[in-house]
């Protein structure tokens, strides 16, 4: 295996700042009605959006 450098979140959209992620979240909500949650990733230390199953 030579995928030691592949992050589990490799296929996710990553944001450099929480502000950017929150902007994308608002856009998704507006466009698609999706309720997403913003979280900081422990793997890449960037920000991702995830589906909020509690909502
Ligand atoms: Zn990540």
pTM metric for this prediction: 0.80
pLDDT tens readout for residues 2-52: 667 789 999 999 999 999 999 999 999 999 998 899 999 999 999 999 987
Question: Could you tell me if 14 and 24 are in contact, meaning their C-beta atoms sit under 8 angstroms apart?
Answer: no
- pLDDT for residue 53 is more than 80: no
Strand, helix or coil for residue 23:
helix
The pairing of beta strand 47-51 with beta strand 36-40:
antiparallel
Contacts by residues 49-54 (CB-CB < 8 Å, ≥ 24 positions apart): 49/12, 49/13, 49/15, 49/21, 49/24, 49/25
Instruction: Find the 52 Cα to ligand 1 centroid distance in Å.
Output: 17
Instruction: Find the 44 Cα to ligand 1 centroid distance in Å.
Output: 4
Facing residues of 37 across strands? 50
- pLDDT for residue 55 is more than 90: no
pLDDT of residue 41: 97
């Amino acid at each position: 295996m030579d995928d030691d450098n592949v992050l589990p979140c490799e296929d996710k959209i990553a944001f450099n700042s929480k502000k950017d992620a929150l902007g994308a979240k608002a856009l998704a909500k507006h466009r698609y009605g999706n309720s997403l949650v913003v979280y900081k990733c422990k793997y890449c230390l960037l920000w991702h959006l995830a589906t909020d199953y509690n909502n």
